[in-house]
Amino acid sequence: MNKDTSAGLFFLGFFLAAGLALGGYFVGQTMYNAKVALNTAEAKGLAERLVMADHANWEIVYRVTGASREEIPGLYETAEQNQKTIVALLKDNGFDDGEIQVGVLNYNYQEFRDDKQILVDQLHTLVGQISVETNKVELIGKVRTSVSKLIALGIDIENREPAYRFTKLNDIKPDMLREATQNARIAANEFAENAGVRVGGIRSARQGSFFIRDAGEEYGDTAKIEKRVRVVTTITFYLTE
């Protein structure tokens, strides 16, 4: 090859998988430019954290039913008493007024007819809801057991699953991004060592989305107190000989 030919532009690319390395994985691409001699490699760095939920929402639904319209006043009194019983139990177990929200009572009516459309039965139902919104996430599981025991007192209760959330993502973002960047550099160094070059400074960086999942689960982020936070960054490094 003569000098005139070597003075022209040429392009050489290659991809090399170096596998997982300390939470980072890497795909490298090197570009050569005859005029600028630009060499770069792209690496992806992973960072993960196991965290605890710091906020919870929990709903308790209670019902009273009767078979005639004349029973409604008595149903209302029973529903109010059940409401007071549930609220008292929540307070006795560590929740305060600011964490407990009492909803309105809703009235539902159903009627049942035979083949000749003659009324054979009717059902009058009052439905109430009590919500707990709290940062005392560890307390929820303990109190739920006590609430379920009210069924033995004849209270019709739907003890719904609480929703646990992690709300302090901004507190851990900086450290996780630093860790992901370090892991990307480690992965880039794995490639560079095999290629006989060295990793230099950062040319560009792309931050991926932060994902929060229940620990041990692929989907969902509200069922468990333990959460796993994950982020992947994509870093382009300069390479030097």
Q: What are the tens digits of pLDDT across the range 213-224?
A: 999 998 999 999
- In Å, what is the CA distance from 182 to each residue of 15, 23, 130, 177, 239? 21, 10, 48, 9, 16
What is the tens place of the pLDDT at every residue in 44-86?
999 999 999 999 999 999 999 998 889 999 999 999 999 999 9
pLDDT at 154: 92
pLDDT at 29: 37
Domains of the chain (ranges, CATH numbers) = 3-52+167-240 (3.30.110.170), 55-165 (3.30.70.2970)
Q: Looking up tokens 């095999």, which residue turns up? A: 194
Which regions in the chain score pLDDT beneath 70?
Answer: 1-38
The DSSP element (H or E) to which 106 belongs, if any, is: strand 106-113
Calpha distance 123→100 (Å, rounded)? 30
pLDDT at 117: 85
pLDDT at 38: 56
- pTM value is 0.75
